[in-house]
Amino acid sequence: DAMVIQNPRYQVTQFGKPVTLSCSQTLNHNVMYWYQQKSSQAPKLLFHYYDKDFNNEADTPDNFQSRRPNTSFCFLDIRSPGLGDAAMYLCATSRQEQETQYFGPGTRLLVL
């Protein structure tokens, strides 16, 4: 089945210790998104790629970076996690920007 995969499902890191979250897709979609979602809040878009074109949201902190080495994979790097970065991180894909977004299962990040 075509799908969006995120690893790991749960990630524990220490304050200030860099962490990388990964996302892969077998849908061959052009667009990949990274969202941050905190409890009982709407998902917050951090950035997205249309193919190799990177689009950063204006209010995404510099602490968050992303890489998309090929169509299938996208990574979220948090350079120096703070306690406020504890959240669910959701990867989503869509064929085109105006089309339906499909989400992976998410990675729940805990910062100690």
Partner 1 sequence: GQNIDQPTEMTATEGAIVQINCTYQTSGFNGLFWYQQHAGEAPTFLSYNVLDGLEEKGRFSSFLSRSKGYSYLLLKELQMKDSASYLCAVLDSNYQLIWGAGTKLIIKP
Chain contacts with partner 1 (rule: CB under 8 A): 40-43, 45, 88, 90, 97-98, 100-106, 108
Report the nearest approach of partner 1 to the CB of residue 59 (Å). 13
Report the nearest approach of partner 1 to the CB of residue 4 (Å). 8
Burial of 28 (0-12, 13-18, 19+ CB in 10 A): exposed
Residues 6+ apart with CB under 8 A from 1: none
Q: Given phi > 0 = left and psi -120 to 50 = alpha, else beta, which region is 40? A: left
Nearer of residues 66 and 101 to partner 1, judged by Cβ: 101
Nearer of residues 47 and 64 to partner 1, judged by Cβ: 47
Rounded CA separation 10/34 (Å): 16
Nearer of residues 79 and 108 to partner 1, judged by Cβ: 108
Rounded CA separation 4/25 (Å): 4
Nearer of residues 28 and 80 to partner 1, judged by Cβ: 28
Do 93 and 28 form a contact (C-beta atoms < 8 A)? no
Report the nearest approach of partner 1 to the CB of residue 16 (Å). 26
Report the nearest approach of partner 1 to the CB of residue 90 (Å). 6
